Structure 1
Amino acid sequence: MTELILHHYPTSPFAEKIRLILGYKQIPWKSVIIPAIMPKPDVLALTGGYRKTPVLQIGADIYCDTALIADVLEHIQPRPTLYPEPSKGMARTLAQWADTTLFWTSMAYNLQPRGLAQMFEHAPPHAARAFGEDRKAMSAGMMRLRPADAAAAYKSYLRRLSDMLDDWPYLQGEVPCISDFAAYHPLWFTRMRTPVMAEILNLAPPVLEWMDRMAAIGHGPMEKFSAPEAIALAAASAPAPLHDDVFQDEHGIPLGSRVSISADLFGPESTEGELIAATRMHYTLRRTDARAGMLHVHFPRIGYSLKAVTPP
């Protein structure tokens, strides 16, 4: 199997989602630690603009967004599955809710002054300001919950998760699925990154017990790797052949067009390239970087906008 390289940083909640999936599937991986805020020149050399965390690299193929990364890992190692029958549709739907509604609710609660103070208590004085400015740029135009509203909603969501754990050790049965990994990481941030705010989790003891079971999965076999090594590997590799080449045109933009892809909500930075795939589930752009060479950059359809780039 080609080496899997995860570009991430330790306190990223979405990276924790993927680290746990790698551990669950026992897939060996290489770890490249990236900055939590811009600038991220090594990341952008691979993605062309996308700067959210994490990013999965397999040779000269770059996978953006954890929803797509989870699908890639499922393809590489189908067992144990993230999408069990007959409830895989429900699992994907619940995971999407967790990655969006639950995540942003938890963040609005976590990043109150007490939480922020704890996050940066050992950091230089300018670190909190730089973090705030970086995330403000990524969330321009987003509606934000007020802390009191977030606390009320978070409590309700924790009770609902607790109800789902009445009869099973995991959210949808006897074993974890994608909904567990997606729901876990926002709560992990509360517990591990802003523990001063974690008293809210005590309202749902079954959820805490479930979190302990999830944490026990671990991250699997990992080796450290450097960003220059990852970029050199990309430059020395060729992208894998596209196996799913069924073109699904929803935009009237033909393959071979110059396009840009950007996230609908958070992280508006776009990636430009040649559209070489638009399937039922994902887009693929071909782009060339001076350092990383010719790359295929992959995005999920859901949550991303595709636009034609007008020639100069």
Structure 2
Amino acid sequence: MADLILHHYTTSPFSEKVRTILGAKKLPWKSVFIPPIMPKPDVEVLTGGYRKTPFLQIGADMYCDSALIADVLEHLQPEPTLYPEPEKGMSRILAQWADTTLFWAAMAWNLQPKGAAEVFAKAPPEAAKAFGEDRGKMSAGNMTRLRPADATSAYKSYLRRLSDMLDDKPFLLGEAPCIADFSAYHPLWYTRRIESVKGILELTPAVVDWMDRIAAIGHGSSSKFSSDEAIAVAKAAAPHTLLTDSTFQDDHGIPLGSAVTIRAESFGLEETPGTLVAATRTHYTLERSSERTGTVHVHFPRIGYVLRKAEA
């Protein structure tokens, strides 16, 4: 099997989700640290424009979005499963809620003024400004952001609901962690990192105990890797997808082989252009080529992403 190369940075919540899944699956991986804000030239040359964190590289295949990465890791190592029967559908729906609704409530709480001041306390003043401007460009006015007071109410309610789910079992849907646990964990993990705001977790001791159980899983075995090395791996390889579904599902009237763009629906609106080589019930794949990378395939989940025919 080709090396798993995770492009991430230490404080990225969605990276923590994937790192913990790698730990649960006991899969070794290579760690490429990328900048938290733009510019990200080495990221863009591999993905073609997608700049959210993390993405997973396997040879000349780039898998974008933690939801799709989880599917790839499940294929590589089916046990322990992320999608247990008979709760497979429930686990995915709960994970989607956690990655969106819960995440944005948590982050509005986490980065309220006192939280943001702590996060950037050791950084120069321009770092906080640059981070805010970068994240503003990613949403480009397309999102409704919760104010801290509203986020407080929502976050407390969501924590209580998670606590209710843990009344009689160690994990959200049973005796073992699933995709729902890893998705609900990462925004709370970020809260726990910030002394001035982490007290909200103490209102739900069952959630804190559950977080301890997830944290104990760890990140598995990783080794440092550079962006240049990752780009060299891509150029030396040929695309070979690990996504198992291949039947073309045409919901857009766009045939395979068309020049298209793909972007996220609401956050991270940068477009990735390329040639559409797969559009299945679960994912899209674009083919791209450059001098530095050779031919690569960039994969996106279908849910949460917008496919358009490229303008002539």
Query: Same fold by TM (over 0.5)?
Result: yes
Give the match for residue 236 of structure 1.
236
Report how many aligned residue pairs link the two structures.
310
* Whole-angstrom CA distance in 2 between matches of 1:137 and 1:245: 34
Give the match for residue 287 of structure 1.
288
* Whole-angstrom CA distance in 2 between matches of 1:24 and 1:14: 15
Aligned positions of 1:168-179 closer than 5 A: 168-179=169-180
- What value does the CA root-mean-square deviation take over the aligned residues? 0.8
Matching residue's letter, 1:19: R
Identity of matched residues, %: 69
Aligned positions of 1:153-232 closer than 5 A: 153-192=154-193, 194-232=194-232
Instruction: Please state whether the residue corresponding to 1:137 is helix, strand or coil.
Output: helix
Deviations 1:128-182 (CA, angstroms, capped at 9, x unpaired):
0000000000011210111111000000000000000000000000000000000
Instruction: Please state whether the residue corresponding to 2:260 is helix, strand or coil.
Output: strand
Instruction: Please state whether the residue corresponding to 1:251 is helix, strand or coil.
Output: coil
Residues 1:29 and 2:29 aligned together? yes
Deviations 1:174-213 (CA, angstroms, capped at 9, x unpaired):
0000000000000000001x22101110110000000000
Give the match for residue 51 of structure 1.
51
8 Å CA contact retained: 2:56, 2:69: yes
Matching residue's letter, 1:116: A
Matching residue's letter, 2:132: G
Give the match for residue 68 of structure 2.
68
Residues 1:84 and 2:116 aligned together? no
Give the match for residue 105 of structure 1.
105
Residues 1:148 and 2:145 aligned together? no
Residues 1:3 and 2:10 aligned together? no
Residue 310 of structure 1 and its aligned partner are, at CA, apart by 2.2
Residue 243 of structure 1 and its aligned partner are, at CA, apart by 5.0
* Whole-angstrom CA distance in 2 between matches of 1:22 and 1:136: 30
Instruction: Please state whether the residue corresponding to 1:126 is helix, strand or coil.
Output: helix
Give the match for residue 271 of structure 2.
270
Instruction: Please state whether the residue corresponding to 2:197 is helix, strand or coil.
Output: helix
8 Å CA contact retained: 2:245, 2:282: no
Matching residue's letter, 1:290: E
Residue 289 of structure 1 and its aligned partner are, at CA, apart by 1.8
Instruction: Please state whether the residue corresponding to 1:266 is helix, strand or coil.
Output: coil
* Whole-angstrom CA distance in 2 between matches of 1:143 and 1:299: 24
TM-score by length of 1: 0.98
TM-score by length of 2: 0.98
Structure 1 residue ranges, 4+ long, deviating more than 2 angstroms after superposition: 241-245
> What 5-or-longer segments of structure 2 have no aligned partner?
none
* Whole-angstrom CA distance in 2 between matches of 1:82 and 1:244: 18
> What 5-or-longer segments of structure 1 have no aligned partner?
none
* Whole-angstrom CA distance in 2 between matches of 1:41 and 1:26: 31
Instruction: Please state whether the residue corresponding to 2:49 is helix, strand or coil.
Output: coil
* Whole-angstrom CA distance in 1 between matches of 2:310 and 2:33: 32
